[in-house]
Copies of this chain bind each other. A is one copy, B any other.
Amino acid sequence: MNHPSAKPPAIVLLSGGLDSATCLAIARRDGYAAHALAFDYGQRHRVELACAKRVADHLGAASFRTVVLGLREIGGSALTADIAVPDAGSSSPSAIPVTYVPARNLTFLSIAAGLAEVVGAQAVYIGVNAVDYSGYPDCRRPFIDAFEHAAALGTKSGVEGQRLKVLTPLVSLAKADIIRLGVELGVDFALTTSCYNPTPAGLSCGHCDSCDLRRRGFAQANVPDPTHYATRDPA
């Protein structure tokens, strides 16, 4: 057991992007000892893992883990298979984009639920937002609620009565709101990356949906964008 004055533990899913960095800052503000969890899942933008580590250090995470997960064996996404990452705006806005990774958040949350049991955490933070990622089914609260229920029934801590809460503090925020909140909480966004398709040197492409959302988010928030894009042309 922790010392009574110690902070309670929470898990924070950390990708190296700006949403999850803001989530980590929120978990700290909420009084948690935040255990950061990143995934090396064969993503095209693996450069984000180094960012995740830097963000964890910068924001004082209680621990940082990278779990290897062989999703390239599964494929089915532009992020985990040889499928091109589309330019921003080139896909139908109502369709689920090809950058959707099958069952990714379901898998990430499941592993987080396991880690929560091990460190004794009753909260997991995930930086999903249903505003900017409306095409991704696993970024919506009804899914998260259903996941909480499954975890309550399928884990030791759950059946012992310690229901895991999955906290989604960004779910109804737009990118600009997240950036403003992150700035308020002291997040250094220069440490983060969002690009789905970075150059071999690790520069953000400036063209993909994720770069586009990021660039517009900083502009709308009226915050200088610290990102090094391979091109400064608007997408």
Contact = CB atoms under 8 A, between A and B. Distances in A.
Interface of A: 40, 65-71, 73-76, 96, 100-107, 109-111, 113-115, 117-118, 137-138, 140, 142-143, 146-147, 149-156, 158-159
The 10 closest A-B pairs by CB, nearest first: A103-B114, A102-B114, A76-B118, A143-B154, A68-B70, A146-B150, A143-B153, A107-B110, A102-B117, A138-B154
A169 B227 CA distance: 52
B114 A101 contact: yes
5 contacts: A76-B114, A102-B156, A103-B110, A138-B155, A140-B153
Nearest to A104: B114
A103 B155 contact: yes
Contacts of A68: 68-70, 73
Question: What copy number does this chain have within its complex?
Answer: 2
B153 A150 contact: no
Contact of A150 (B40, B67, B71, B106): B106
B107 A114 contact: yes
A106 B102 contact: no
A67 B76 CA distance: 15
A208 to B, nearest CB: 19
Nearest to A139: B154
Given A67-B74, A137-B153, 6 more contacts: A96-B159, A107-B114, A110-B110, A137-B159, A147-B150, A149-B149
